[in-house]
Structure 1
Amino acid sequence: MNVTPVIPRSTQTLTRVGVIGGGQLAWMMGGAARDLGLSLIVQTPHGSDPAVPFAADTVLAAIEDAGATAELAKRCDVITFENEFIDLDALSVLAQSGVCFRPRLEALAPLLDKFDQLCQLRDLGIPVPRFEALTRVGGDGDPDIDHGLGYPVVLKARRHGYDGQGTFIIPDAETLARTWAKFGYPPMLLQEFVPFERELAAIAARSVAGDVAIFPIVETVQEDQVCHRVIAPANIAADAAASMDAIARTLLKGLDVVGVFGIEFFLTADGRILVNEIAPRTHNSGHFSLDACETSQFEQHLRAVCGLPLGNPSLKCGGAVMVNLLGFEFAKSDDLQKREQLAAIPRAKVHWYGKTESRPGRKLGHVTVLIDADNPDIRQAEAEAIARRVEAIWYEK
């Protein structure tokens, strides 16, 4: 692991960080920015968005508004991203005028479209599931949906899909045709269905100097393509963890990026490791690091984009389990009573994002519980038991 010691704040080169997006990821950067002596300026559409109360300054505008980003650039030294919902062409004009974006826009360009992303990963020699583009070619009749990936198959929106939105497990050709038609036959991605043994993830950071630091590999547990819990570290063989570490390094170096990336993997029953998707930003699978690691993913990202040395990503405890607090109904509530019950769990820390409305699947917060056990099997069992306890409180099971 290539990690450089912390340096005094006085030697920082960039201190004003612009963030496009003001949701919970930017909110969690707020505490790290304060501790590092940095100013966070966010571009976000609503004054009620989570990061606004914790930002030094705010540009209230849609995140795709490049004119607002030009104003943001006047108030900061470097601009980074909370999400991928950006107008890349418009931002490129700003970059040509000298605005500093990290990660650089040229590296983001092949990643925002999921088909292009898989092509880029394949070209870097990174193992990915088999995939094809689903594109309608002329005519008014029924489109040709023949493909070579078999069934079931995974259908994905190429842009703007997150938290399971825009991802469908398709059992047969009839369902594929019906689902594609429902969206009006836009270009989409078909990806082979991988009968994985586990879903895993890595948070990886690369500095301006080219140093790379990888957080512990974690196991993610998904339901309906939405992450419900994360167990750190993953209970996997050392060679599998080493392979994912190597893939992450290849990816960040190959793209020549600066900042934190979230990388999602499949581990198959026969030991193959495939990259499912990457996110060019801080990621839900790394939230455990706020409480369980020497350096959080949010501090690490700020260190990277500001030109500071990377911090130590190692665990400072035996392990941890993080459970997302997802909305399960349309309501307005701060769920204070449930949060107090969760906070009473030994070694638990509740992070509440301050959103005013709940809806099914919306991420309202998360809770992380630290675990002392060093034995991987005991730690795994304890993490699963804690997760069930958290979910029983939150969902009133």
Structure 2
Amino acid sequence: MSNQRVGVIGGGQLAGMMATATEKLAIDLLIQTPHKDDPAVAIAHEVILAPIDDANATQQLAEKCDVITFENEFINLEALKKLESQGVCFRPKLSALSPLLDKYQQRSYLKSINIPVPKFTTLEALSLTDFNFPLVIKARRHGYDGQGTFIIKNSEELNHLLEKVNNIPLMVEDYIPFERELALMVARNVKGEIVTYPVVETYQKEQVCHWVIAPANISETVQKEARQIAEHLVTQLDVVGIFGIEFFLTSDEQLLVNEIAPRTHNSGHYTLDACDISQFEMQLKAVTDHPLGSTQLNCLGAVMVNLLGYENSHYDYQEKRQKIANLPHTYVHWYEKTESRVGRKLGHVTRLIKDHKIAPETIAKEIESIWYRNQ
């Protein structure tokens, strides 16, 4: 019996980490990605070297695959809709992605299905009588890892930003003085089976995730509400796949959805080591219609730390990686990127928590102290 053939649009580290489950699930991964040194190329059964928004390349991918899924959402939606109308099987369906790719449209959709979100508007409709500084302004498309997100403290900063953005479509939202930031991975398969992973706490600096603590130290009420929001969203959208949901938690325990990632997500990387079924295996299970299985932790908890570039170089940081790997119950995942740039995700580290003697924040800071030492 031949393996199922799954096409992936995108060849970065998220696609690369799917390889951990392909043999177990009898899946061949075929990748569409622009560069021969992209992280997923080394693990792919077959590669089509082409930009991820090249629909002609996606047509070639479809001819070789049973189903196509996504590593990221920077796609040519209109062109892919033509392929879908011709019978190409995308999971999630394009109708599930369509309301999410533009951040303003995403917020509007979430509000329409009664999911709580911060107050928002378009830049064109902004009235400073309705919003107070500070404001958050986001590029409506293609922003990630803090790119395209601006915290604006006063009118002078707003005017300065408007001079720089060159008619890029922007969304404006309330700045939420949150107690903490949370995230949750949720998966759904063709039969409508839904599973959620533990709610985690994310620690951000300048809108970039530096570390994740699983599980989050929050009330059962907040956990339950987060799960209900996630299940409601994927049911309304008829999702087949896995989504990441980012939340703000306010001081009065109100949950607000910040953003939706319609794919595997950085906040779920801990699942590779801390859960029996990782988020990457879960995505493949969902899109190939396997039973989803357990999302439980296999330990008391985990801390995931991103290894972010802090210089421009071509260097593999082997010595630092080894020092981190020598810590107890610690796993280093290196993305084999050939170039380091400031803020670029080069890898991540998971430390399993076997007892509660050391605070998770202390663990994260110890890993960062090794990584950023002598930078």
Q: TM-score, normalised by structure 1?
A: 0.92
Cα deviation, 1:84-115, whole Å, max 9, x if unaligned, reads 11000000000000000000001111100000
Q: How do 1:176-325 and structure 2 match up within 5 A?
A: 176-325=158-307
2:332 alignment partner in structure 1? 350
1:35: Cα distance to partner?
A: 2.1
1:34: Cα distance to partner?
A: 2.2
The code of the aligned residue for 1:207 comes to N
Q: How do 1:61-140 and structure 2 match up within 5 A?
A: 61-135=50-124
RMSD of Structure 2 on Structure 1 (CA): 1.4
Bigger relative CO (Cα 8 Å, ≥ 6 apart): 1
2:43 alignment partner in structure 1? 54
Question: What SS is found at the alignment partner of 1:388?
Answer: helix
Cα deviation, 1:240-290, whole Å, max 9, x if unaligned, reads 000000000000001111100000000000110000000000000000000
Unaligned runs of 5+ in 1: 1-9, 137-143
1:180: Cα distance to partner?
A: 2.0
The code of the aligned residue for 1:299 comes to E
The code of the aligned residue for 2:56 comes to G
1:372: Cα distance to partner?
A: 1.5
1:383: Cα distance to partner?
A: 1.3
1:35 alignment partner in structure 2? 24
Cα deviation, 1:174-195, whole Å, max 9, x if unaligned, reads 2112102201133210010000
Question: What SS is found at the alignment partner of 2:259?
Answer: strand
Match of 2:13 among 3, 19, 24: 24
Distance in 2 (CA, whole Å) between partners of 1:386 and 1:187 is 40
Report the count of equivalent residues: 374
Cα deviation, 1:108-152, whole Å, max 9, x if unaligned, reads 11100000000000011100000001128xxxxxxx764622110
Cα deviation, 1:331-385, whole Å, max 9, x if unaligned, reads 0100000000010000000000000000000000000000023xxxx47x52111
The code of the aligned residue for 1:65 comes to D
Distance in 1 (CA, whole Å) between partners of 2:301 and 2:208 is 22
The code of the aligned residue for 1:268 comes to T
1:294: Cα distance to partner?
A: 1.4
Aligned structure 1 segments of 4 or more residues deviating by more than 2 angstroms:
144-147
1:229: Cα distance to partner?
A: 0.1
The answer on 1:332 being equivalent to 2:314 is yes
The code of the aligned residue for 1:333 comes to Y
The code of the aligned residue for 2:364 comes to A
Cα deviation, 1:279-324, whole Å, max 9, x if unaligned, reads 0000000000000011100000000001111021100100000000
Match of 1:167 among 149, 165, 183: 149
Percent identical = 55
Aligned partners of 1:41 and 1:58 also within 8 Å: yes
Q: TM-score, normalised by structure 2?
A: 0.97
Q: How do 1:386-397 and structure 2 match up within 5 A?
A: 386-396=363-373
Cα deviation, 1:139-179, whole Å, max 9, x if unaligned, reads xxxxx764622110100000000000000110012211210
Question: What SS is found at the alignment partner of 2:283?
Answer: helix
Unaligned runs of 5+ in 2: none
The answer on 1:363 being equivalent to 2:345 is yes
Question: What SS is found at the alignment partner of 1:101?
Answer: coil
Distance in 2 (CA, whole Å) between partners of 1:100 and 1:180 is 41
Aligned partners of 1:135 and 1:187 also within 8 Å: no
